[in-house]
């Protein structure tokens, strides 16, 4: 419906902001900080939902989210050099600001999806139109950035061990715009199909069946799953120069699982409360209806004088 186009446009804006801010923020602040920011998404979602009076901030919900967030951040940052990329103070500050926008945009996407679902649109329709809008915006940004030599050199810098394969306006770069090496085809396909399309459809579908803050609470599982996958790949003979076995940071998995267990228990408790409240409301409405019909029935049953 034309009057709801702004909803899909808004969802597209938040998808675009999420992706663009993460890519540049990761570049400026580094992969460790970029990963550490991701578990903050349910916190943003909960705060927005509370401000809109969609949810109540219960002790169990807040505790579960904070436990998962802290544990996931510990898994990512423990024993890591937060400035491993050698970024300057300004780059790190701007990168963290962009990562803040990245996580906030994801939370706002879930909120916008809630509004679209309330209008009766199925998750597949919302995801398709939202991603179409976001992809169009990203195409415009990529096209403009590829024509700026300074930005190309920023995205593809020549660092130690790299060879300058592209030159533009006096700027040397380690890659040419729009050039995709064969080794990147499989990771790119994974990013597009699974990490983007499927992931956002699942987020949209989950938002249809759960409260907004619960949907993104499972972001805390990302470092845990990454740790398990890394260990599995290394166990079957994967590249040890790019991956490493987890150390003491693996203890954070206990907190992640504990926090999610608290969140699930709180969700079940609230679901039971909502069900009882709905049942009482239905019984009250039925009693009012019977009470209002009683005088009419008495009038109809009264003998004519």
Q: From first to last of its 305 residues, what are the pLDDT tens digits of the chain? A: 667 888 899 999 999 999 899 888 887 777 777 777 887 888 888 888 888 888 777 888 788 888 887 887 777 777 666 555 555 667 777 888 898 899 899 989 989 998 899 888 998 899 899 989 999 999 998 888 888 888 777 777 776 666 667 777 777 777 777 778 888 889 889 888 888 888 888 888 888 887 776 777 777 777 777 778 878 887 887 766 666 676 777 777 788 778 878 877 877 777 677 677 766 655 556 566 666 655 554 555 555 54
Tell me how far apart the alpha carbons of residues 212 and 45 are, in angstroms, rounded to a whole number.
Answer: 7
Quick one: pLDDT at residue 105? 93
Tell me how far apart the alpha carbons of residues 155 and 27 are, in angstroms, rounded to a whole number.
Answer: 8
Quick one: pLDDT at residue 287? 61
Tell me how far apart the alpha carbons of residues 295 and 275 are, in angstroms, rounded to a whole number.
Answer: 32
Q: How far is CA 277 from CA 173, 208, 299, in A?
A: 62, 20, 34
Give the count of alpha carbons within 13 A of 196, CB side only.
20
Quick one: pLDDT at residue 297? 46
The encoded tokens of residue 111 equal 């909120």
The encoded tokens of residue 77 equal 């940052």
Residues 6+ apart with CB under 8 A from 45: 107, 110, 111, 212, 213, 215, 216
Tell me how far apart the alpha carbons of residues 42 and 49 are, in angstroms, rounded to a whole number.
Answer: 10
Tell me how far apart the alpha carbons of residues 145 and 148 are, in angstroms, rounded to a whole number.
Answer: 5
Quick one: pLDDT at residue 298? 55
Other CB atoms within a 10 A radius of the CB of residue 293 amount to 10
Taking the whole predicted model, whether its pTM rises above 0.75 is answered as no
The encoded tokens of residue 39 equal 């578990």
Tell me how far apart the alpha carbons of residues 64 and 256 are, in angstroms, rounded to a whole number.
Answer: 9
Quick one: pLDDT at residue 152? 78
With contact defined as beta carbons under 8 Å apart, do 216 and 263 qualify?
no
The encoded tokens of residue 199 equal 């992931």
């Amino acid at each position: 419906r034309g009057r709801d186009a702004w909803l899909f446009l808004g969802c597209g804006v938040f998808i675009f902001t999420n992706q663009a801010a993460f890519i540049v923020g990761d570049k400026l602040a580094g992969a460790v900080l970029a990963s550490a920011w991701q578990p903050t998404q349910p916190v943003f979602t909960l705060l927005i939902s509370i401000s809109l009076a969609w949810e109540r901030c219960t002790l169990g919900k807040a505790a579960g989210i904070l436990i998962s967030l802290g544990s996931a951040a510990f898994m990512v940052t423990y024993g890591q050099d937060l400035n491993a990329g050698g970024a300057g103070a300004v780059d790190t500050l701007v990168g963290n600001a962009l990562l803040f926008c990245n996580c906030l945009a994801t939370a706002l996407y879930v909120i916008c999806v809630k509004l679209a679902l309330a209008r009766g649109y199925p998750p597949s329709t919302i995801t398709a139109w939202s991603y179409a809008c976001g992809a169009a915006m990203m195409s415009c940004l990529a096209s403009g950035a590829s024509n700026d030599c300074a930005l190309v050199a920023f995205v593809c810098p020549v660092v130690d061990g790299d060879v300058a394969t592209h030159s533009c306006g006096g700027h040397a770069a380690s890659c040419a715009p729009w050039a995709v090496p064969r080794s990147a085809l499989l990771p790119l396909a994974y990013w597009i199909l699974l990490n983007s399309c499927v992931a956002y459809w699942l987020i949209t579908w989950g938002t249809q069946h759960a409260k907004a803050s619960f949907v993104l609470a499972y972001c805390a599982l990302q470092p845990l799953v990454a740790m398990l996958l890394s260990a599995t790949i290394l166990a079957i003979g994967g590249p040890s120069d790019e991956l490493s076995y987890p150390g003491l940071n693996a203890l954070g998995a206990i907190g992640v699982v504990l926090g999610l267990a608290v969140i699930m228990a709180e969700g079940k408790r609230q679901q039971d409360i909502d069900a009882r409240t709905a049942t009482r409301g239905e019984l009250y409405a039925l009693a009012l209806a019977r009470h209002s019909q009683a005088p009419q029935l008495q009038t109809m049953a009264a003998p004519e004088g």
